[in-house]
Amino acid sequence: MSRFTAGQELAPHTFLINRALLVAYANASGDQNPIHQDEAFAKSVGLPDVIAHGMLTMALAGKYVADLAGGSASVKQYSVRFTKPVVVPAGVDVELIVSGKVSEITDAGDAKIDITAICADTKVLGMAKALVANA
Amino acid sequence: MLNPDLVGRTFPGATSTSVSQESINAFAAVIGESDTSMATPTYAITITLDQSQKLLQESGLDWTRVVHGEQRFDIKRPIVAGDTLRCDSTIESARVMAGNEIVTVRGDLFNGEELVVSTWSTLVVRA
């Protein structure tokens, strides 16, 4: 029984990103760059506000794919471009809407998934793709 | 500018990282993953990006000007607690585009002789 078929549209999921999540990700990942936590610092280097770690956005979109594929063990390859920052103002839950489409079932039987991640009507990941087991 | 002689060179990891259950749990908790029997797909970045940063800083690159451009993972099997991972880093390419320096570093995570995960981080050094 295969989960995925070529051309299949995958139901979107919304993740919420806020300042507390950025602090949690910084602690879990070791990436303590102040642009992800310190508003004054972020603005001093020309950013509109604190921005999320690109790798947090990638991790959340990866969770989306892993859930659809039956768990983390199914994810074989995963790649993204960080095209736009996810801006996270104080006191706000920013919505990250992740969706996907199965582009291909490979000869080996794995599924290729194109991922779309949107925040404030803007695509924040480009060329986001995963290869997952299709069991 | 990165010394072009470094492109193509592999720098074996000098130390190994023991993966703890606590670190897997912490990473999983942030993204809402309840299955902590294995690391989530992007967990490897907690080891490889740190190694890339050290390598590039030692090579004279200004890390304060670095933004993450692209990221790729090739996962042979999920990382699990108890793995002792060595990260070999290879500078795969370095080029200049529109005044920005763009460097791609591959990190290969080995548990003993077993390649577990490879990561490719493309970093943009803003002019």
Determine the Cα–Cα distance for residues B50 and B31; give it in Å rounded to an integer.
20
Considering only the beta carbons, identify the residue of B23, B35, B74 that sits closest to A71.
B35
Question: Which DSSP symbol is given to A60?
Answer: H
In sequence order, which residues have a C-beta less than 8 Å from that of residue A135 and are 6 or more positions away?
A1, A2, A3, A70, A74
Task: Give the number of other Cβ atoms within 10 Å of residue B14's Cβ.
Answer: 9
CA distance A69 to chain B (A): 12
Residue with tokens 């763009």: B102
Structure tokens at B39: 């690391």
Question: Which whole-number Å values give the CA distances from B2 to B7, B38, B39, B65, in the listed order?
Answer: 9, 36, 33, 14
Is the CB of residue B46 less than 8 Å away from at least one CB of chain A?
yes
pLDDT digits (tens, 9 = 90+) for B4-22: 888 999 999 988 999 999 9
Collapsed DSSP state (helix, strand, coil) of residue B54? helix
Determine the Cα–Cα distance for residues A128 and A114; give it in Å rounded to an integer.
6
Structure tokens at A42: 């972020």
A30 and B46 within 8 Å at the Cβ level: the answer is: yes
Collapsed DSSP state (helix, strand, coil) of residue A36? helix
Domain count, chain B: 1
Determine the Cα–Cα distance for residues B23 and B50; give it in Å rounded to an integer.
15
Length of chain B: 127
pLDDT level of residue B46 (50, 70, 90 thresholds): very high
Determine the Cα–Cα distance for residues B19 and B26; give it in Å rounded to an integer.
12
Lowest mean pLDDT among A4-8, A47-51, B4-8, B27-31: B4-8
Which of A13, A21, A29 to mutate to probe the B interface, most B CBs <10 Å? A29
Residue with tokens 């770690």: A53
Tell me the pLDDT of chain A averaged across its residues.
96
Per-residue pLDDT, B127: 78
Per-residue pLDDT, A45: 87
B64: pLDDT strictly greater than 90: no
Give the CATH number of the domain where residue B29 resides: 3.10.129.10
Considering only the beta carbons, identify the residue of B40, B68, B71 that sits closest to A63.
B40
Per-residue pLDDT, B63: 82
CA distance A9 to chain B (A): 22
Chain A stretch 11-40, residues whose beta carbon is closer than 8 A to a beta carbon of chain B: 15, 21, 24-25, 27-31
The CA angle B19-A70-A63, to the nearest 5 degrees, is 60
pLDDT digits (tens, 9 = 90+) for A67-98: 999 999 999 999 999 999 999 999 999 999 99
Tell me the pLDDT of chain B averaged across its residues.
94
**CB of B94 within 8 A of CB of B2?**
yes
Which residues form the domain of B107? 4-125
All domains of chain A, ordered by start, with CATH? Answer: 9-17+53-132 (3.10.129.10)
Per-residue pLDDT, A1: 64
